[in-house]
């Protein structure tokens, strides 16, 4: 933090405030200030529009400064440390911030904030639960000073009416202050308010001439003709095309005037009736005028309601479109359509608001809050997507549901990713082990079949050699090759060959179909001429 060598209230102090976001403005920025709307703060920061201080406000400010000076001694006694009023600035995540401290300890560990005594604030301090109007200022001040704790004092300057509470910064509130000022900065860039105008005052209404009727059995005196002509022209000229706040104000006043004229005509009619019963023509005119006034009043009231409802709907729809555009931009930033819908109660925000200015301020504050929440969601998604990409490198196929997973809390997402990869690795290791065991079994079976085939063929070859030797020793009358000629006979009838066949069949019967098939392929490869398919 940088300490400014300026006095609070000095021209240098005001100049520094215009260049920074101030702690006293934090509640207005969040739209929770008791004294200033967010729109008024936008006007102040962008155009330097400072509302004129009234005599009553100046009295309250002067009284607050006196109480603060008296309470500082009480706070120092409570802390056991000296407190120094200072003005400090700091840059927090690119935001220029300023805080005017009622008091700060020498080591800047503790900041002090003093408020004038009032019943509601005493209740909050006793419960150690400050409303947002107050904690927003404390969180901003602790951001600037990096104080570890804030001492919040409510006092009237006397020891008997002074209470304290220690306030610890809360991470979610601190994040809300930072996010709020960031969105305020963005909104400030594009802020272009409509030209301000004073609160509309209904235009003066042309007064109708006083209607006078005197009857003595008949109408003896009346200015009805003049009154009728003037009243009908007046009714015809009443404006029913309502566009501006001025039109609405005029219409509401005119509707009340029409209502009062209706009652006035009723009084005249009743007074005339008391004078005579033979005044049908007069009464028809009075009824005509009264009905005209009533019809115009009802039309004005209906038009005012319709137009106000239409303006409310237009303002709400404009805000909803702005929020959709903001979410679309966040999806573009994330390069994916993964932003969820961000709820914003625009209809609830304008409930009870009577002027267009108050409607727009309520809507803009609600819109800013929704944008802040949307930004927080987008930041969370961006962090999760980056972490997911790093953790799943090489395992992307396991995370087809990545766009859904990124909405998890970061710690939960990290656990999900780790578990899923570990489970896949274990399954892969089991698969490799199973494949290795299967291959080893197949190799063993193959070796067994080949060994059986070699043994069988060796036995067959030895038997064939013995048969050939026996055949060669048998005398035969045929001239030529006795072995070649006797061999078929011996082979066909030799009991030893039969024995060999039985031995071979017995050996083959112990083999599986797969092993027999391997023996067959082995024999075919070794003795292609001896085995045919």
Mean pLDDT of 266-288: 74
- 484 has pLDDT over 70: no
Mean pLDDT of 433-450: 89
Mean pLDDT of 88-113: 95
Nearest to 310 by CA among 242, 381, 384, 389: 242
pLDDT at 529: 66
281-334 per-position pLDDT tens digit: 777 788 888 898 899 999 998 888 888 888 888 899 999 999 999 999 999 999
Query: Where does the pLDDT of residue 90 fall: very low under 50, low under 70, confident under 90, or very high at 90 and above?
Result: very high
How far is it, in rounded angstroms, from Cα 452 to Cα 446? 10
- 135 has pLDDT over 90: yes
Mean pLDDT of 260-265: 90
Q: How far is CA 319 from the centre of its chain?
A: 15
Query: Where does the pLDDT of residue 483 fall: very low under 50, low under 70, confident under 90, or very high at 90 and above?
Result: very low
pLDDT at 482: 41
Percent with pLDDT over 90 in the chain:
48
Considering 389-393, 448-452, 481-485, the range whose residues carry the highest mean pLDDT is: 389-393
Mean pLDDT of 443-471: 74
Q: How far is CA 326 from the centre of its chain?
A: 11
How far is it, in rounded angstroms, from Cα 261 to Cα 293? 7
Please answer whether residues 450 and 523 qualify as being in contact, where contact means their C-beta atoms are separated by less than 8 angstroms. no
Mean pLDDT of 115-143: 95
In angstroms, the Cα distances linking 140 to 36, 101, 114, 372, 521 are 17, 11, 15, 17, 87
* Mean pLDDT taken over the chain: 85
pLDDT at 74: 95
Nearest to 449 by CA among 506, 523, 499, 528: 523
64-80 per-position pLDDT tens digit: 999 999 999 999 999 99
How far is it, in rounded angstroms, from Cα 121 to Cα 116? 9
Please answer whether residues 253 and 260 qualify as being in contact, where contact means their C-beta atoms are separated by less than 8 angstroms. no
Provide φ and ψ at 241, rounded to 5°: -100, 90
User: What are residue 154's DSSP bridge partners?
Assistant: 115, 163
How far is it, in rounded angstroms, from Cα 199 to Cα 357? 10
Helix axes 224-236, 280-334, angle to 10 degrees: 10
Rounded to the nearest 10°, the torsion over CA 237, 242, 248, 254 is 20
How far is it, in rounded angstroms, from Cα 55 to Cα 28? 22
pLDDT at 476: 46
Rounded to the nearest 10°, the torsion over CA 121, 125, 127, 130 is 70
In angstroms, the Cα distances linking 86 to 19, 95, 99, 174 are 17, 20, 8, 22
Per 3-state DSSP, the chain is made up of helix, strand and coil in percentages (nearest 5) of: 65, 10, 25
How far is it, in rounded angstroms, from Cα 486 to Cα 493? 11
Strands 84-92 and 110-116, sheet pairing: unpaired
Ranking 19-33, 163-177, 424-438, 444-458 by mean pLDDT, the lowest is: 444-458
Considering 54-63, 399-408, 492-501, the range whose residues carry the highest mean pLDDT is: 399-408
Say whether 395 sits in a helix, a strand or coil: coil
pLDDT at 464: 61
- 531 has pLDDT over 90: no
- 224 has pLDDT over 90: no
Nearest to 338 by CA among 374, 369, 371, 373: 374
Say whether 162 sits in a helix, a strand or coil: strand
Percent with pLDDT over 70 in the chain:
85
- 486 has pLDDT over 60: no
Q: Which residues of 359-371 are buried (b: 16+ CB within 10 A; e: fewer)?
A: bbbbbbbbbbbbb
Mean pLDDT of 87-103: 94
Angular region, 484: left φ>0, alpha ψ -120 to 50, beta rest: alpha
CA atoms within 13 A on the CB side of 362: 18
- 354 has pLDDT over 70: yes
Query: What is the full DSSP assignment across 78-99?
Result: HHTS--EEEEEEEEETTEEEEE
Nearest to 103 by CA among 81, 121, 124: 81
Ranking 139-148, 158-167, 177-186, 516-525 by mean pLDDT, the lowest is: 516-525
pLDDT at 194: 66
Please answer whether residues 150 and 141 qualify as being in contact, where contact means their C-beta atoms are separated by less than 8 angstroms. yes
Provide the token pair at 110. 């503790």
Strand segments (E) across 333-487 = none
521 or 430, greater pLDDT: 430
Mean pLDDT of 381-400: 92
- 499 has pLDDT over 70: no
In angstroms, the Cα distances linking 453 to 206, 406, 500, 504, 505 are 127, 62, 14, 10, 12
Provide the token pair at 188. 């400030």
322 or 450, greater pLDDT: 322
- Give pairs for 128-136: CB < 8 Å, separation 24+: 128/165, 130/165, 130/167, 131/32, 132/27, 132/30, 132/32, 133/27, 133/32, 133/33, 133/34, 134/27, 135/167, 135/170, 135/173, 136/26, 136/27, 136/29, 136/30, 136/32, 136/173, 136/177
- 143 has pLDDT over 70: yes
- 176 has pLDDT over 70: yes
- 112 has pLDDT over 50: yes
pLDDT at 495: 61
How far is it, in rounded angstroms, from Cα 185 to Cα 42? 10
């Amino acid at each position: 933090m940088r300490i400014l060598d300026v006095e609070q209230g000095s021209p240098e102090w005001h100049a520094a405030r215009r260049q920074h976001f101030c702690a006293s403005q934090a509640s207005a920025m969040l739209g929770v200030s008791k004294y200033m709307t967010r729109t008024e703060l936008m006007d102040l920061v962008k155009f330097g529009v400072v509302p004129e201080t009234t005599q009553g406000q100046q009295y309250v400010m002067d009284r607050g400064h006196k109480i603060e000076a008296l309470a500082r001694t009480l706070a120092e006694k409570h802390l056991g440390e000296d407190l120094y009023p200072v003005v400090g600035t700091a840059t927090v995540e690119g935001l220029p911030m300023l805080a005017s401290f009622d008091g700060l300890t020498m080591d800047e560990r503790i900041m002090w904030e003093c408020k004038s005594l009032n019943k509601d604030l005493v209740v909050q301090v006793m419960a150690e639960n400050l409303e947002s109007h107050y904690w927003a200022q404390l969180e901003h001040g602790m951001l600037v000073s990096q104080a570890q704790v804030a001492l919040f004092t409510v006092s009237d300057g006397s020891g008997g009416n002074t209470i304290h509470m220690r306030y610890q910064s809360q991470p979610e509130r601190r994040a809300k202050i930072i996010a709020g000022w960031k969105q305020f900065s963005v909104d400030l860039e594009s802020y272009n308010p409509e030209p301000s105008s004073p609160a509309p005052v209904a235009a003066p209404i042309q007064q109708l001439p006083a209607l006078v009727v005197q009857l003595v059995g008949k109408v003896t005196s009346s200015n009805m003709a003049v009154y009728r002509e003037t009243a009908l022209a007046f009714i015809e000229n009443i404006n029913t095309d309502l566009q501006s706040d001025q039109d609405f104000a005029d219409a509401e006043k005119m509707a009340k005037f029409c209502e009062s004229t209706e009652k006035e005509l009723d009084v005249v009619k009743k007074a005339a009736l008391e004078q005579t019963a033979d005044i049908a023509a007069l009464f028809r005119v009075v009824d005509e005028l009264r009905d005209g006034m009533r019809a115009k009043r009802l039309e004005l009231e209906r038009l005012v309601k319709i137009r106000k409802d239409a303006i409310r709907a237009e303002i709400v729809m404009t805000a909803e479109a702005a929020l959709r555009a903001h979410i679309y931009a966040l999806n573009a930033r994330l390069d994916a359509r993964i932003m969820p819908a961000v709820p914003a109660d625009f209809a609830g925000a304008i409930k009870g608001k009577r002027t267009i200015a108050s409607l727009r301020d309520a809507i803009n504050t609600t819109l800013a809050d929704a944008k802040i929440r949307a930004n927080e969601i987008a930041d969370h998604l961006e962090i999760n997507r980056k972490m997911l990409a790093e953790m799943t490198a090489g395992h992307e196929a396991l995370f087809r549901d990545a766009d859904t997973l990124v909405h998890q809390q970061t710690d939960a997402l990290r656990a999900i990713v780790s578990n899923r990869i570990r489970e896949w690795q274990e399954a892969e290791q089991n698969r490799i082990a199973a494949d290795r065991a299967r291959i080893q079994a197949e190799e063993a079976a193959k070796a067994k079949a080949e060994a059986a085939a070699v043994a069988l063929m060796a036995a067959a070859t030895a038997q064939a050699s013995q048969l050939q030797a026996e055949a060669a020793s048998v005398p035969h009358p045929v001239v030529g090759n006795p072995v070649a000629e006797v061999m078929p006979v011996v082979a066909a009838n030799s009991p030893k060959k039969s024995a060999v066949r039985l031995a071979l069949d017995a050996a083959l019967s112990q083999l599986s179909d797969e092993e027999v098939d391997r023996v067959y392929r082995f024999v075919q490869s070794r003795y292609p001429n001896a085995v045919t398919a």
